[in-house]
Amino acid sequence: MAVKGLDKFNARMKRIPVAVRQAAAAVVVDAANEISGLQKRLVPVDDGDLRDSITVTPPGASTPPYSQPSGQRVARPTEAIITAGNTKVRIAHLVEFGTAPHINGGWAAGTQHPGTKAQPYFFVSYRALKKRARARISRSITKAINDGAKS
């Protein structure tokens, strides 16, 4: 199914000057680094593997395999992706949201697991700094446009 007006939107996006795109991409990465810094300070630390798995993927790069919340994918030209988890650490979502009581399988089959309490660190950091990041990105784009208009 085609999205109404998509061709017109894409044509308009192609007219955005390269300098504005580059300025936006740089500030997006800076804002993502700020958010990931708060996430690393808030994440519960046992052995540090989960904290160390929190990464910022810059535009054009690929996120780690098994990362949360988006899995492995390539960041778009003006996008930075913050992820937690990798091939070694696959529990980011379980720490963030907790688990319900359940009957174990595997080597402890039949035993009762009491569940774990949620220990939010990922999305709470994003929500806390989202407004600040958006304002920073908007200022950067506006400045790049104004600088381009002056020259």
Sequence ranges of the domains in the chain? 43-101+112-151
Mean pLDDT value of segment 13-38: 90
Residue keyed to tokens 């308009």: 12
Q: Is a pLDDT exceeding 60 seen at residue 10? A: yes
More confident residue, 118 or 8: 118
pLDDT, tens only, 92-147: 999 999 999 999 999 999 999 999 999 999 999 999 999 999 999 999 989 988 88
Angle between helices 122-150 and 18-42 (to 10 degrees): 160
Taking the CA atoms of residue 96, residue 105, residue 107 and residue 88 in that order, the dihedral angle to the nearest 10 degrees is: -30
Asked whether residue 16 carries a pLDDT value surpassing 90, the answer given is no
Rounded Cα–Cα distance for residues 84 and 66 (Å):
9
pLDDT in tens, 46-97: 999 999 999 999 999 999 999 998 789 999 988 999 999 999 999 999 999 9
14 has pLDDT over 90: no
CB of 50 closer than 8 Å to CB of 43: yes
